[in-house]
Amino acid sequence: MHPFQCAVEARDTAAIESSLADDVVFTSPNTFRPHRGKPITAAFLRAVLRVLDDFHYVRQISDSDGDDHVFVFEARIGDVAVFGCDLVHCDGDGKIDDFVVMVRPLSAANALQVAMGAEMERIQHEATMTVESDRKEA
């Protein structure tokens, strides 16, 4: 099992964040353009853990080099079943540097849009606080 999959299934947010490259590009089904950087990506992933119930991976598909992975998942938002996949690419250090989320059916995408929309202020705040903390430490 891939370390990212283990971290997500354990709901270990520190391990999830440590699996991300500093310059990771995150493409969400809920935003128009991709987001760049570990702080915003980690904040999105923490929000996903808050809004998706019964989240679990049902399948992993990887290329022969181990750089590209598809993690197929199932979850719920209230009584709406969510089916989707995380498409990730890992850099030479094994860190995720490209992360795309896809969700279906349309009812699930709509429910996710509403649930994540309610989280956007918190997501932005968490990402900003992380960046400010990193600047103070530097």
pLDDT tens digits, one per residue of 31-50: 889 999 999 999 999 999 99
- Averaged confidence pLDDT in the chain: 93
Which residue segments constitute the domains of the chain, with CATH numbers given?
3-121 (3.10.450.50)
pLDDT at 31: 82
Contact 101, 30 (CB under 8 A): no
List the 68-77 sheet strands across, edge first: 35-36, 20-27, 96-104, 80-90, 68-77, 53-62
pTM of the model: 0.90
- Distance CA(113)–CA(108), nearest Å, equals 8
Residues in the chain: 138
- Distance CA(101)–CA(2), nearest Å, equals 17
